[in-house]
Amino acid sequence: MRLLYSFPRPRISLRYIWPWSWAVTAPKKKKEAELANGGEPQEKFECASCPPFKIGDVRAAIPSHCWVKDPWRSMSYVLRDVVVIAALALAAGHLNSWIFWHIYWLAQGTMFWAIFVLGHDCGHGSFSDSVRLNNVVGHLLHSAILVPYHGWRISHRTHHQNHGNVDKDESWHPLSEKTYRVLASSSRTLRFRFPFPLFAFPAYLWWRSPGKEGSHFLPSSSLFHPKEKQDVMVSTVCWSAMVASLLTLSWVYGPVAVLKFYGVPYLVFIMWLDLVTYLHHHGHRERLPWYRGKEWNYLRGGLTTLDRDYGWINNIHHDIGTHVVHHLFPQIPHYNLVEATKAAKPVLGKYYREPEKSWPLPVHLFGILLRSLRVDHFVSDEGDVVYYQTDPRLYAAGRQHKAQ
């Protein structure tokens, strides 16, 4: 009897012998699906692999009229947004109802975000072919929402030219593990704990991101080339004039009135800006690569951006969710981005990630944001192709905070 039990007995489970069990049928179905196309198993797509096309191939697929900039059409969007902003302010002042004030704050903040996008077009030169018109309109729109036009335009250009590059990207780029480890716990909380990241933009304008120095307001900042100093000074003066105007209005009408009409919508605008810009570069269900050294190039970096669907907001904020083609070709006007994306998708193939369809309001994006903030913390200090890694302690703290 001892000899009988001294040998391990085989463990037999019904799932291995039951004729229609999952363990038997699932691999069979998977194999059938893999062999459905051409009789060969489908290899897993590696998003960090070099694409089999060149940026010129994508450019050639986009109709030529998509590149045409119509200043009259661009100005019509400016007029539309300004009329809506004025109408909302007049309605809020006339009704003066706390119920309507809440509607006003959300709607007006969204419209502030919309005019930022039009100023963003000016910064890229996709508003018109006239540099003077772009700069005048860009200053008017961005100064009105406390954004230094040239300061932001130049740093945003750096972002586009280096997106996906760990060492050179400008905004919402990953921290290296070394930089992450020396951050104070309060800084980690502010960067990765909701809702603090949605209010990061003003701090970024003043101090940039961790590990980088300079300010969007100072001509002497390392952000700018010496020949750009005068442009930065002009933008800082325009920004200061807007601040002075708000202070004057606060003295005449009282700070509460300015807070209700302007301050709260400004905060909603900041939340929109940080939400949209973050989710265009983070939060995909599969890990996306970041590059260093010779592994990076403009096309590979641009292909790690993401399109997002914002439901009813798509039209309001000028289809900024069509972000992949915009990143590759920022010269295309916003009103042609949807058509250009449709034309480019057959060339991009699996390198284009179809956005999740939104409800009328894009509430699904908050779940994506929360998940990304919990897991996308830093990248390795070594390696030319790296992916976000997770700090287990911060992840655990985030889950505990969520449970409470």
CA distances 365 to 131, 196, 209, 273, 400, Å, are 35, 16, 23, 13, 21
In order of 124, 315, 394, the CA distances from 207 in angstroms are 23, 33, 24
- Dihedrals phi, psi of 378, to nearest 5 degrees: -160, 170
Beta bridge partners of 176: 379
List, for residues 180-215, the tens digit of each pLDDT value. 988 888 888 888 888 888 999 999 999 887 778 889
pLDDT (tens digit, 0 to 9) for every residue of the chain, 404 residues total? 433 333 344 443 433 333 333 333 334 444 444 444 444 445 677 888 999 999 999 999 999 999 999 999 999 999 999 999 999 999 999 999 999 999 999 999 999 999 999 999 999 999 999 999 999 999 999 999 999 999 999 999 999 999 999 989 988 888 889 989 888 888 888 888 888 889 999 999 998 877 788 899 999 998 899 999 999 999 999 999 999 999 999 999 999 999 999 999 999 999 999 999 999 999 998 889 999 999 999 999 999 999 999 999 999 999 999 999 999 999 999 999 999 999 999 999 999 999 999 999 999 999 999 999 999 999 999 999 999 999 887 766 555 555 55
pTM: 0.86
3-class DSSP state of 386: strand
The span from the CA of 100 to the CA of 102, in Å, is 5
Give Cα 219 to chain centroid, integer Å: 27
Tell me the C-alpha distance between 43 and 251, whole Å.
67
Q: Which residues contact 248 (CB under 8 A, 6 or more apart)?
A: none
Pair of tokens at residue 170 = 């400008």
Q: Provide the residue type at 242 as one letter.
A: M
Distance between CA atoms of residues 2 and 46, nearest Å:
54
How far, in Å, CA of 204 to CA of 191, rounded? 11
Return the axis-axis angle of helices 131-144 and 71-95, rounded to nearest 10°. Answer: 20
